[in-house]
Chain A
Amino acid sequence: MTDLPLNGAAGAIPDFPRPARSILETDARTRARNRAEARFRAYGLAALLVGLFFLVLLLGSILWNGMGAFMQTRMTLEVELLESELDPEGTRDPAVLAETSTFGYGDLIEAALVRTVAATGVQTGLEAGDLDDLLSSGTAARIRDAVIADPSLVGQTVTFDVLPSSRVDGYIKGRVTRESLANDKNLSPEHLDIVDALVAQGTLDRGFNLSFITGADASEKRPEEAGIGVAMIGSFYMMLVVLGLSLPIGVAASIYLEEFAPKNRFTDLIEVNIANLAAVPSIVYGILGLAVFIQFAGLPQSAPLVGGLVLTLLTLPTIIIATRASLRAVPPSIRDAALGVGASKMQAVFHHVLPLAVPGIMTGTIIGMAHALGETAPLLLIGMVGFVASNYPGGVLDGFTSPNSAMPAQIYEWAKRADPAFYERAWGGIIVLLVFLLVMNLMAVLVRRRFERRW
C-alpha cells in the first residue's frame, strides 16, 4: 500500500519532475558512469598487460642476449711442436716438458698463425706479433697441457682446436663490429679481414659450446674460456645440504606445531617467529652465516657446506608454511579413525596423516629449493664469489668443503666484469639457471596435479 490517496483529486498529486525521455534511453549521467566503468576496466586490463609485457621483455632479453653463450667460434690450427724449443734433450719426460712455461709456446703458435694466415692470402699491415690477438690468451696453456699429457706429440705437427679471442667470437656472432673496434686496443679492424678470410676458408667455424656448460670460470682476460660447470656443482652440493637439512627439520617442526603443540604463549612465539623469518631480507641471513658459521664456528670460507647451511635457514620458513598447510588439509576424520582403532597420537600422525600430506610437502620443498637456488646475496658474504669457481672439487666429499661458487654468484661475477663478452656469459648463465628453475617448478606442478587429493 502506498501513503498516497488512491482516488484523490488530480491537484493533490505532487508535481514530480517527470523524465522527458523513455527510461530505455540513457541519460548523460548514466553514460558518464558507463564510460567510467569502461575506463576502469581498461585500466585494469592495461595494468595486467603491462605486467605481462615486462615478463615478455625480460624473457625476451634473456633469450636474445644469452643464446650466444651456447655457441662458440673455434679455429683449427696446425702447430708444429718443435723438439728444439720444447724438449732439447729429447727425454720426453713430462717433468722436463713442464719446465717450458707457456711463453715457450708463444713462438710456435705465432709461427702456426703466420702460416695459416699466409695460406688465406690476405694482405694486412699487421706484424706477425699482432696475430696472437686473434686467439684466446689461454691458447698456449691449453697446448702446453696437451703436450704434458702426451709427450709423444713433441716433434710432430699437431692440429689443435683452439679458441679465438672473445672479440673474434663477438664479430662472428655480430656483437662486435668494425666500428666498435676503432678504439679497441685488443683487436683492430685489420684482424677482421683475416677473420673473414678464415671463415671463407673453413678454418674458423661455430659450434655448440659444451665447455660453457661444463667448464670452470676463467680470468678477466679470457671470457671465451669461462664456463658455469664448476659453479653448477657448487650449487648442486648446496642443494644437497638444503634438501638434507631443511626437509627433515621443516617437516618435524611443522608436525609439532600443527599436531602436537599446545595453544600457549610459547607456540605463538614460534609462529610469529616463523612468519617474520620468512620476510627477513636474505642478506641478513648472509650476515648470520658469516658471523656464526665462519667467524664463530670456524667453518671454511667459500664452502658449499656453509652456503647450504645458510640457505637451509633461509628456506625453512617456506617449507614449514607449505608443510603446515598440507597437514591442515588432511581431514580430522583420518586422525579420529586412527585414534579410534587404538593408534597412539604419534602413530596416527606418522602412519596416516603424514603420508597423505606428502604431495603438499614435496611441492613446498621443491619451490623452497628453487627459491634457494636463485639466491645470491647471502652467498657473496660467505665468500662464495664467482672467481673462486676455477677448479673442480677433488673428490665427492671434497665438494662440500672445497671453495666453490654457485650459479647466481657466478652470474653476478660476470655481470661485474668490464668486458662485454662476459655479459653474454652472464645471460647464458641465466638461461641455465632458469632451465633448472623451470624444471623444478614443473616438477612441483606435476606432483601437485598427479598426487594432490581434494577432500
Chain B
Amino acid sequence: MSPGWLFLLVLLIAAAGYVLGRSRALSATGGSLRTMHSLPGAYGWNVAMAVLIPSLLILAVWTLVAPAVLGRLVTPMMAGQEGNLSLLMSDVRRVADGLLLLGEDPASITTEGLRDRLAEAGVALGQDVSNATLAAAARYDVLGAWSHWLLTILVLSVALGAAALAVRRTTPTLRARNEVERGIRGLLIAAALVAIATTVGIVLALIFNTIKFFQIYPASEFFFGTTWTPSFGGGSELGILPLVWGTLYISTIALFVAVPLGLLSAVYLSEYASSRVRAWAKPMLEVLAGIPSIVYGLFALLTVGPALMLVFGDGGLGWMQGGTAVITAGLVMGIMLIPFVSSLSDDIINAVPQAMRDGSLGLGATRSETIRQVVLPAALPGIMGAVLLAASRAIGETMIVVLGAGAAARLSLNPFEAMTTITAKIVSQLTGDQDFSSPEALVAFALAMSLFVVTLCLNIVALWIVRRYREQYE
C-alpha cells in the first residue's frame, strides 16, 4: 500500500475512533452530560489523537529514512564495480524505479535492450544496464516491497491497537479534555521544535559534507589558496580566497550605495517629510524590498550592465570589458538593500525619545544639528546593527551575483572586472547532475559552511546590538 493510501486509511481509523470514543462515553452515562468529566467531543478526540500521533509519526519517519537504509543494504552488491559508487547507486535506484514501471518479474528480465525499454517507460539512463546493476536493482525492489509491507503492517497495527486501547479506556470519569490538551500542547511544542530541527539539519548537512571534503582536499589549501580553478576531470585548485575577495568587494560596494541612501531617506522620512509624503513614499520604497532577487539579477545583467558599458566600456572610458562586473552587481545589490537599511534605520530613529530632540531644539539647535549631533549618535549602535544585517544580506545574496558579477574568480582591485562570489560558486558547483563524492562538488558544502558561519556571526552580533539598543530607551 502506498504511503498516500496508508495515510488516508489512518485518517479513516481515527475518524472511526472519534465516533466510537464519543458514543462510548455518551452511552456509559446514558447521554447525561452532567456525570461526564469532559464534553463528549473530547472523548472522541482523545481516541482520534491516540491513533493519529503515533501512526503518522511512524509513517513519516519510515518514508524519510527507508530509502537511505535500502541504499545502504544494496550498496555492498555494487562495491566491486568500476566507476563511482554514488553514481552507480543513483543508476540502481533509477533502474529499480523503471523495473517497477515495467511491471515484469525481475527474475526473468535480462539486461539486453533493457535501457531502451526503460527509456520507453520514461526512465532515461546515461549508460547501458550492467548485470550487477540489474541484480542490485532487483534486490532493491524486493527489499522495497518488504519495507512497504512492514510499514503497512506496523502502521495499521499501531493505529488499530491504539484505537482499541483508547476506546477501552474511555469511561465517563476519564479526564479526556486534559489528555487532549496535553496532546495538543505536545504538538505545539513539536511545531516549535521544527525551528531547532532546521538549524540542526543545516549544521549537520554542512558539517558531514565539509568533513568529507576535507578528507580528500587539504583544508589549508582551501582556506589559503589563491586560485580557484575547478575542473571535473581532476587536478582542481580550490582556494577560497578569490571568492572571499569577490564577495567582500561586491558587498562593500553595495553597502556604500545602500547605507548613505537608505540612512538619509530614513532620516528625511522620519524627521522632515510631511505625513502625506511619508504615507506614499515609504510604501513605494518598500516595493523595492518586495521584488525578488532574480528580478534584480536580470536588471543587473540586461539594464545596468549595458548602461555602465556605455559610459565605462569601449565606446566611453574604455575601463570595462563586459557588462558583468563587480560594480554592476554591487550597484544593483545596493539598490536592493536601500529599503532594508531605510526601514530598519527608520524604526531605530523613531525609537530615540522625543525628549532628546525637544531638548536639543529648545537649546536653539537647528533640525539638522539635532539630527546629526543628538539623534544619530543616540541611534548609532542600532544603525550599526542594521548595517551589519544588511552586510549579512549582501554576503548571502545569490541571484544578483550569479547573473551580474560574472564567473571568473580573480583577486583584483579593479571594480570594472568580472569577479565571483561564494554564493555564485555554490550554485555553479551544485547545479546539474553531479557526482557528490568528487572534491569539485563537495567544495560547495565547505563554501556554504564558511558562508553560514560568517553570516551567523554577523546576525548574532547585529541582533544582539539591535536588541540591546531597543532596551536602552524602553
Contacts and interface: CB of A to CB of B under 8 A. Distances in A.
Interface in B205-252: 205-206, 208-209
Interface in B397-454: 397-399, 402-403, 423, 426-427, 430-432, 436, 444-445, 448, 451-452
B281 interface: yes
Contacts of B423: 281, 283, 377
Interface in B238-286: 260-265, 267-269, 271-273, 281, 284-285
B292 to A, nearest CB: 3
Contacts of A65: 302-303
For chain B, the bracket of interface size reads 35 or more
Given A34-B366, A48-B269, A416-B403, 11 more contacts: A40-B367, A44-B267, A47-B268, A252-B192, A273-B199, A276-B456, A276-B459, A279-B393, A284-B448, A287-B444, A287-B445
B294 A374 contact: yes
A43 interface: yes
Contacts of B288: 51, 54-55, 58
A40 B287 contact: no
A41 B195 contact: no
Contacts of B268: 41, 44-45, 47-48
B366 A33 contact: yes
B171 interface: no
Interface string B190-203: 11111110110110
Nearest to B208: A291
**Size bin of chain A's contact surface:** 35 or more
B67 A297 contact: yes
A376 B215 CA distance: 31
Interface in A405-454: 408, 411-412, 415-416, 423, 426-427, 430, 433-434, 437, 441
Contacts of A46: 264
B263 to A, nearest CB: 8
Interface string B368-409: 110110000000000000000100110111110011000000
A346 B288 CA distance: 41
Contacts of A291: 205-206, 208-209, 445
Interface stretch (A85-93, A112-120, A236-244, A256-264): A256-264
Given A45-B268, A377-B398, A316 B189 contact: no
A9 B426 CA distance: 88
A252 B427 contact: no
A437 B292 CA distance: 9
A320 B287 contact: no
A298 interface: yes
A143 interface: no
Given A33-B366, A287-B426, A51 B339 contact: yes
A270 B195 contact: yes
Given A281-B455, A427-B298, A252 B202 contact: no
B294 A297 contact: no
Contacts of A275: 459, 463
B291 interface: yes
Contact of A316 (B188, B198, B302): B198
Contact of B184 (A285, A286, A346, A374): A346
A62 B456 CA distance: 34
Contact of A58 (B293, B295, B339, B403): B295
A374 B160 CA distance: 44
Report, nearest first, the 4 A-B pairs whose CB atoms are least far apart: A281-B396, A374-B292, A298-B67, A44-B268
Interface string B446-474: 00100110011001100100000000000
Interface in B347-371: 366-369, 371
A276 B293 CA distance: 20
A288 interface: yes
A381 B431 contact: yes
B448 A283 contact: yes
Contact of B368 (A40, A313, A316): A40
Contacts of A122: none
B268 to A, nearest CB: 3
Nearest to A433: B292
B297 A415 contact: yes
Contacts of B366: 33-34, 36-37
A71 interface: no
Contacts of B190: 252
Contacts of A272: 460, 463
Interface centre among A34, A249, A281, A412 (most CB of B within 10 A): A281
20 contacts: A33-B369, A36-B366, A46-B264, A47-B263, A47-B268, A51-B335, A51-B339, A51-B342, A58-B291, A58-B335, A256-B189, A272-B463, A281-B395, A297-B64, A297-B68, A298-B68, A346-B184, A376-B398, A380-B427, A381-B431
Nearest to A412: B294
Contacts of B293: 374, 376-377
B interface secondary structure, majority: helix
A148 interface: no
A127 B194 CA distance: 67
Nearest to A293: B64
Nearest to B445: A287
A376 B294 contact: yes
B426 to A, nearest CB: 6
A284 B452 contact: yes
A323 to B, nearest CB: 11
Interface string A274-305: 11110111111111101110011111000000
Contacts of B77: none
A82 to B, nearest CB: 30
Contact of B285 (A52, A284, A423, A430): A52
Interface of B: 4, 63-68, 70-71, 93, 177, 181, 184-185, 187-196, 198-199, 201-202, 205-206, 208-209, 260-265, 267-269, 271-273, 281, 284-285, 287-288, 290-299, 301-303, 335, 338-339, 342, 366-369, 371-372, 389, 392-393, 395-399, 402-403, 423, 426-427, 430-432, 436, 444-445, 448, 451-452, 455-456, 459-460, 463
B303 to A, nearest CB: 5
Interface in A363-422: 370, 373-377, 380-381, 383, 385, 397, 408, 411-412, 415-416
A411 B299 CA distance: 12
A58 B299 contact: yes
A50 interface: yes
Contact of B455 (A34, A48, A279): A279
B431 A385 contact: yes
A48 B285 contact: yes
A36 B297 CA distance: 38
Contacts of A298: 66-68, 70-71, 93
B208 to A, nearest CB: 8
Most buried by A among B65, B188, B432: B188
A434 to B, nearest CB: 7
Given A281-B395, A284-B451, A297 B191 contact: no
A44 B265 contact: yes
A23 B291 CA distance: 53
Nearest to B398: A377
Contacts of B460: 272, 276
A296 B68 contact: yes
Given A33-B366, A377-B398, A441-B290, A253 B188 contact: yes
B372 A411 contact: no
B206 to A, nearest CB: 7
A201 interface: no
A61 interface: yes
Nearest to A397: B4
Interface string A1-37: 0000000000000000000000000000000011011
Nearest to A346: B181
